[in-house]
Chain A
Amino acid sequence: MTEDRVRELIADVDRADSADGVLDAVKALSAAESTDAIAKLIEVLGYNNPGAAVAAVDGLVAIGEPAVLPLLEQLDGYNYGARAWAIRALAGIGDPRGLEILLTAAADFSLSVRRAAARGLGALRWQELERGGIADAQTRALETLLETTEDPEWVVRYAAVVGLEALATAPTLSISGLPIRQRFEEMIATEVEPSVRARVGLAIERIEAVTPSQGAGVG
């Protein structure tokens, strides 16, 4: 895709005069997977257009690594809605440079930010860290995720379970997975929401499938 073509696609987003028009234009721009689209896609996260924001997040995740710094740089200036989308993009990209922001975001005021952060914390690409730094980063993610399993909002607890499952089943797991197993067993007994409890059951099943039977992921 040429630079000119991307410029045209960006102009289409600006020209669109309806929510559906914006959505179609953002989809086309996302599909270009061009680094020239990053700034505009980040801008779209701040429109009050959930469909377009989903498409922009998909586009930013597809662009991947080059979008990380621009996302981190603009995070502070966002309103809560846009922040949630940006954190979703960072979570989807999985770049470990997002670790600090995701750790902070797990205690955010907005539940959709906490939700996206919890999911993202488990799914970072740990192998991109220096070998010596993996255990430390995973320990911090683990501690935050374990706290997040006590969030008052069910959806944040659900996301924490998904994050913990991803961490426990990561090929690069460099810390003991035992606290995750223990916490899941507690949640099976105490979690009030059937859906969250069911997700814990699934996570336990999946962890058992990748770790030796009594192993509980001790590494």
Chain B
Amino acid sequence: MEQFEKISIPSDNTLTVERAIANLQQTEDLGDRYYAAWWLGRFRVREPEAIDALLAALSDEANRSPDGGYPLRRNAAKALGKLGEPRVVPALIRCLDCSDYYVRESAAQSLEMLGDPAAIPPLLKLMEGGIEAAQFVPGKPHLVQPYDAIIEALGTLQATAARAQIEPFLEHPVSRVQYAAARAMYQLTGESAYGERLVVALEAPDLQLRRSALMDLGAIGYLGAAKPISETLAENSMKLIALKGILDTHLRERSIGGNRAALSAEALEIMDLMDSLL
């Protein structure tokens, strides 16, 4: 999968794989550790020593934010999602119980990327209390749980049994959460009504929300969104990524990969739209 593909490290980069691993293993310089955790994920460094050092960083106690958060754990959890190493799943599942919201959010996102259905029950546990419990934490810019990340993960992990728990979140007051629910419901049911909800969101007044609807539509590959995506007001780079998501899904469903004799009318239309955005 593309998300786990190796990324070549520019020769003028400030770090090397060995240096980054060493920086993460040491405990003197918190800044170096923090940066190394991000860097190892960024460049998809899959060496066992890198994975071990990232796993160790998940229980770090030294790097604390003023409000009691665990910045290094957040970075390590994020990085582990990018490395495609299945043995880290249990450790990421344990992170879902961390007191730091952002660690839980990163863990949920990484569990989604790793695609192991073992994460479904612990993710569902965070949804306990349903939409009534899904309130803002007083004085914080976030809800009690990272619902959008959790719901997106449940959709991607094909947690069909979670439909009843996810559906009420279509009406959650936070748009991001609504979109996550629409995205997951589409993935779990294939019903176009859920895709259409995201198409409507492409007209949201706020650019951030339009971007997020774009990414959701690309992620689920909803064919009906191709034209509206090309027309929404957002950066062409994001529209192209979303359209590629739709084209990839379409090609996969028709299993025609590079078969030049069998490009469908839909594929041609998506490519025309993509060409016009280059």
B278 within 8 A of A: yes
Flag the segment in A30-38, A93-101, A201-209 that touches B.
A201-209
Please tell me if the beta carbons of B207 and A154 are within 8 angstroms of each other in the complex. no
- By a CB distance below 8 angstroms, the chain A residues around B2 are 154, 192-193
Please tell me if the beta carbons of B278 and A50 are within 8 angstroms of each other in the complex. no
Flag the segment in A4-12, A114-122, A125-133, A169-177 that touches B.
A114-122
What is the minimal beta-carbon distance from A44 to any residue of chain B, in angstroms? 14
What is the minimal beta-carbon distance from B106 to any residue of chain A, in angstroms? 25
Please tell me if the beta carbons of A204 and B260 are within 8 angstroms of each other in the complex. yes
Q: List 11 A-B contacts (CB under 8 A).
A: A88-B236, A112-B236, A115-B240, A116-B278, A152-B7, A155-B241, A158-B240, A162-B275, A194-B247, A197-B257, A198-B257
B252 within 8 A of A: yes
A40 within 8 A of B: no
Which residue of the partner chain, among A19, A115, A202, contacts B260 with CB atoms under 8 Å? A202
- By a CB distance below 8 angstroms, the chain B residues around A154 are 2, 244
- By a CB distance below 8 angstroms, the chain A residues around B259 are 201
What is the minimal beta-carbon distance from A205 to any residue of chain B, in angstroms? 6
Identify whether the interface residues of A are mostly helix, strand, loop, or mixed: helix
A211 within 8 A of B: no
Please tell me if the beta carbons of B251 and A192 are within 8 angstroms of each other in the complex. no
What is the minimal beta-carbon distance from A188 to any residue of chain B, in angstroms? 5
- Number of contacting residues on A, CB 8 A? 33
A139 within 8 A of B: no
Which residue of the partner chain, among B5, B207, B258, B275, contacts A50 with CB atoms under 8 Å? B207
Distance A147 CA – B7 CA, assembled complex (angstroms) = 18
A residues with a Cβ closer than 8 A to B are 19-20, 23, 50-51, 54, 88, 111-112, 115-116, 118-119, 152, 154-155, 158-159, 162, 188, 191-195, 197-202, 204-205
Q: C-beta contact mask, B220-250 vs A, less than 8 Å → 1, else 0? A: 0000000000000111110011001001100
- By a CB distance below 8 angstroms, the chain B residues around A162 are 275, 278
User: Assuming A116-B278, A158-B278, is B235 touching A191 (CB within 8 A)?
Assistant: no
CB-based nearest B residue for A159: B278
- By a CB distance below 8 angstroms, the chain A residues around B17 are none
Which residue of the partner chain, among A23, A116, A205, contacts B233 with CB atoms under 8 Å? A23
CB-based nearest A residue for B243: A195
- By a CB distance below 8 angstroms, the chain B residues around A194 are 247-248, 251-252, 257-258
B127 within 8 A of A: no
Known: A194-B251, A202-B263, A202-B271. 16 other contacts (CB 8 A): A20-B205, A50-B233, A50-B236, A115-B237, A119-B278, A154-B2, A155-B244, A159-B278, A188-B258, A192-B5, A194-B248, A199-B271, A201-B263, A202-B268, A204-B260, A205-B263
Distance A115 CA – B271 CA, assembled complex (angstroms) = 15
- By a CB distance below 8 angstroms, the chain A residues around B236 are 50, 54, 88, 112
B267 within 8 A of A: yes
Looking at chain B, what size class is its interface with the partner chain?
Answer: 20 to 34
Please tell me if the beta carbons of B237 and A201 are within 8 angstroms of each other in the complex. no
- By a CB distance below 8 angstroms, the chain A residues around B271 are 198-199, 202
What is the minimal beta-carbon distance from A49 to any residue of chain B, in angstroms? 9
Please tell me if the beta carbons of A112 and B258 are within 8 angstroms of each other in the complex. no
CB-based nearest A residue for B256: A198
- By a CB distance below 8 angstroms, the chain A residues around B7 are 152
Which residue of the partner chain, among A115, A195, A201, A205, contacts B247 with CB atoms under 8 Å? A195
Distance A119 CA – B236 CA, assembled complex (angstroms) = 14
What is the minimal beta-carbon distance from B173 to any residue of chain A, in angstroms? 23
CB-based nearest A residue for B262: A201
B14 within 8 A of A: no
User: Assuming A23-B233, A50-B235, A195-B248, is B258 touching A200 (CB within 8 A)?
Assistant: yes
Please tell me if the beta carbons of B234 and A50 are within 8 angstroms of each other in the complex. yes
Please tell me if the beta carbons of A195 and B244 are within 8 angstroms of each other in the complex. yes
- By a CB distance below 8 angstroms, the chain A residues around B257 are 194, 197-198
Contacts of B26-78 to chain A: CB distance below 8 A: none
Please tell me if the beta carbons of A201 and B278 are within 8 angstroms of each other in the complex. no
Which residue of the partner chain, among B5, B205, B268, B274, contacts A158 with CB atoms under 8 Å? B274
Q: C-beta contact mask, B191-210 vs A, less than 8 Å → 1, else 0? A: 00000000000000101000
